[in-house]
Amino acid sequence: MPLIALTGGIASGKSTIAARLADHGAVIVDADAIVREVQAPGSPVLAEIARAFGDDVILEGGALDRAALGARVFGDADALRTLNAIVHPAVGEEVDRRIAAAVAADPDGVVVYDVPLLVEGRGGGTWDLVVVAHAPVDVRRQRLVELRGFTPDEAAARVASQATDDERLAIADVVIETGGSLDDTIAAVDRLWERVRPPAR
């Protein structure tokens, strides 16, 4: 079973790649979705976040106020380290559990770990392939403004807060360029699938 790490900067088209691989039959383990799950209301992780950062990062209904927490840790290295120490062990355990379950269910299948922060050291694991979604910085900034409602300054700051393109490309076994048309991106993903697809049954 190939284990693939899929990474890319914010607004790089990574979700489009993951969705296409899922269409082909890959099992997608989504790091961002797991983060949201381990921070769900009533979870030990959310309780620890509240202890560390205060009740003002919890909404009235008991859910995490992601915007408030993001504002607290963005640009504050110590606060970010505190948050990571709370969240990442729980995420890592759940990722390992899901990958093991996928392998047990289909030893010949393809598992893709969709993880934005692989370069930043939060992906863990040993991968058969590292796939990087890549689009020029100006394209990603434009997407953040046009599709997600960021201001230009917010978009620039968010892109700058992540690993550089050179750092991501340095660990890539496969680079999928996403700065062009959607059809071009899909065709590149299809070529990747032909490379990693399970044997015919």
3-state helix/strand/coil string of 26-52: CEEEEHHHHHHHHCCCCCHHHHHHHHH
Say yes or no: 165 and 180 in one domain: yes
Q: Are 6 and 133 in contact (CB under 8 A)?
A: yes
| Rounded Cα distance, 72 and 188, in Å | 38
Q: Give the end of a domain, one of 68, 83, 106.
A: 106
Q: Give the end of a domain, one of 57, 91, 106.
A: 106
| Rounded Cα distance, 125 and 139, in Å | 30
Residue 32 resides in a domain: no
Say yes or no: 41 and 90 in one domain: yes
Which residues make Cβ contacts (< 8 Å) with residue 130, sequence separation at least 6? 4, 5, 7, 118, 171, 172, 173, 174
Say yes or no: 113 and 199 in one domain: yes
Domain count, the chain: 2
What distance, in Å, lies between the first and last C-alpha atoms of the chain? 14
Say yes or no: 131 and 48 in one domain: no
- Predicted TM-score of the model (pTM): 0.88
Report helix, strand or coil for 58.
Answer: strand
Q: Are 167 and 118 in contact (CB under 8 A)?
A: no
Domain ranges, residue 160 = 1-26+109-201
Bridge partners (DSSP) listed for residue 6: 114, 131
Say yes or no: 7 and 48 in one domain: no
Walk along the chain (201 residues) and give the pLDDT tens digit of each residue.
689 999 999 999 999 999 999 999 999 999 999 999 999 999 999 999 999 999 999 999 999 999 899 888 887 889 989 999 999 999 999 999 999 999 999 999 999 999 988 887 655 667 999 999 999 999 999 999 999 999 999 899 889 888 899 999 999 999 999 999 999 999 999 999 999 998 776
Say yes or no: 90 and 113 in one domain: no
CATH number of the domain encompassing residue 1: 3.40.50.300
| Rounded Cα distance, 65 and 55, in Å | 10
pLDDT of residue 1: 66
- Amino acid, res. 15: S
pLDDT of residue 201: 60
- Amino acid, res. 59: L
The DSSP secondary-structure symbol of 65 reads: -
Q: Give the end of a domain, one of 78, 106, 134.
A: 106
Residue 49 resides in a domain: yes
Helices (H), the chain: 14-24, 31-38, 44-53, 66-73, 77-105, 137-148, 152-160, 165-170, 182-196
Say yes or no: 153 and 194 in one domain: yes
Instruction: Give the helix/strand (H/E) hosting 181.
Output: none
pLDDT of residue 2: 81
Residue 63 resides in a domain: yes
